[in-house]
Structure 1
């Protein structure tokens, strides 16, 4: 049983992708919204265990200087087995930009630090629901 990484959305069941998002747990995304976000991205990465979708991730990039990675998530039973590192490194290699920012779920910062990501001191964000984002630990209250 080997996990295959694919960099196109062919064969993705977006209901399954939304379920991965919830089980990871990264919250709730409507399948159609998730499909639109991924298909409009510069880069997508899906991990398949045979015919089973087990992990997803996507990124935006200008292709020269800057990239940002979003929604790198996987089913809990596939976590802590090296798949996240494998996906992250594959995404970074394909982005091939000197600067990359990513969104981390609060509590996962150490994972990204092992891949040379550092906390930013000047990043700013504008959220649809700032109070909710503060409660979730993404921004200061």
Structure 2
């Protein structure tokens, strides 16, 4: 299995991301809402296994001091303690 990491919103299937949020479970997040918040985030990442979206994350960041993860989601089969993100991490691109 090959994972592909993307940091742009160009090819995101917002319906698929909405379904991932429901499966997480983080409740109902409409596709247009997710498109807005991810598009406005300085740091974001989408992970695909083949063509299926298996993880997504974004960080609230000011671009200068630190960033904070914002309800990042990963498909259950990929959850692992080593994938935890520190509460405050230096912003990187």
Q: Which has the higher contact order (CA 8 A, sep 6+)?
A: 2
Matched residues in 2 for 1:54 and 1:79: separation? 10
**Matched residue SS, 1:71:** coil
Check the 8 A contact 1:43/1:60 in 2, yes or no: yes
Matched residues in 1 for 2:31 and 2:64: separation? 31
User: 1:81: Cα distance to partner?
Assistant: 8.0
| Consecutive unaligned residues in structure 1, runs of 5 or more | 97-141
Check the 8 A contact 1:41/1:60 in 2, yes or no: yes
**Matched residue SS, 2:54:** strand
What TM-score comes out, normalization by structure 1 length? 0.57
User: 1:61: Cα distance to partner?
Assistant: 1.3
User: 1:80: Cα distance to partner?
Assistant: 2.7
Please give the root-mean-square deviation of Cα atoms over the aligned residues, in Å: 2.1
Q: State the match for 2:6 in structure 1.
A: 6
Q: State the match for 1:39 in structure 2.
A: 39
How does 1:1-141 map onto structure 2 within 5 Å?
A: 1-80=1-80, 85=83, 88=85, 92=89, 95-96=91-92
User: 1:68: Cα distance to partner?
Assistant: 2.0
| Consecutive unaligned residues in structure 2, runs of 5 or more | none
Matched residues in 1 for 2:11 and 2:46: separation? 10
What TM-score comes out, normalization by structure 2 length? 0.82
Q: More helix per residue: 1 or 2?
A: 1
* Structure number with bigger Rg: 1
User: 1:51: Cα distance to partner?
Assistant: 1.2
